[in-house]
Amino acid sequence: MNRRLIAASLAAVLALSGCAVLPAAPEALPTDWVPEATVDPDTNTAALSPDGFNAAQRMTVRVRNIECRGVSTGTGFALDAFTLVTNRHVVDHAKNLQVSTHDGRLIDVEAASVTTVADIAIITTAASLGGAFAVRAEEDPVEGDAITVVGYPNGGRLTTTAGVILGPADDPIGGAVGTVLATTAVVEPGSSGSPVLNADGEVVGVVYAKNDADQSFIVPVSTLNSLLAQPSLLVPESTGC
């Protein structure tokens, strides 16, 4: 929510309470304003494996959805050997889901569950994902925090891009119940479901959308943690045309 919206909400509350004088609304932020990153995310190259991939890259997978309308791709990341996170819209209307790892292994999907409170899906695989698994942060990132996004933009090669958190934002899709966060990290179709990591390599969110200004939007880790703690909020994804 921007400052204008905050000021408008405050004005409505004061008017209802009978106050006659309202404070002046703050000026809008410049449209090209970007907070300064707290650290340089490109310096985080820890946990490199012998093949040159770091832990974040090894836990990130490509998700291929063969659906009634055609084929679409997204990204996901491993929570454990048989469970991964992606977006609800990545698995929508799936007739068949396929997962491929950073080293080219193809893994069958057993089931997918989704939720209506956020653009999140949980996939269960038939074989071990291997590699590395996500470490989830306990707190959401804040404005100015440096982030790294790992994913498969446009269904292509595994890519890492950096950015910073801009702060809370209105959900551009309108499907989230809680807060979403805007970032400067540039993403593309196929990046949906990508893990967003802080400087310590912890997952702080999940990419799910972008706008025309090349801002990306993420489901914060607090929402993901709540969903994983309350499996009743997840239901099997329907299949078929």
Angle made by CA atoms 5, 7, 12, in degrees to the nearest 5: 95
Domains in the chain: boundaries = 1-32, 55-133+227-236
Element at 4 (helix H, strand E): helix 3-16
Task: For residue 17, give the DSSP letter.
Answer: T
Q: What is the DSSP string of 131-161?
A: S----B-SS---TT-EEEEEE-GGG-S-EEE
Helix (H, G, I), strand (E, B) or coil at 20: coil
Contact between 54 and 135 (Cβ < 8 Å): no
Question: What pTM does this model have?
Answer: 0.79
pLDDT tens track, the chain, 241 positions: 443 333 333 333 333 333 444 445 445 544 555 555 544 444 444 444 455 678 999 999 999 998 877 889 999 999 999 999 999 999 998 889 999 999 899 999 999 999 988 999 999 999 999 879 999 999 999 999 999 999 999 999 999 999 999 999 988 887 777 789 999 999 999 999 999 999 999 999 999 999 989 899 999 999 999 999 998 888 888 666 5
CATH code, residues 55-133+227-236: 2.40.10.10
Q: How many helices (H) and strands (E) does the chain have?
A: 4, 13
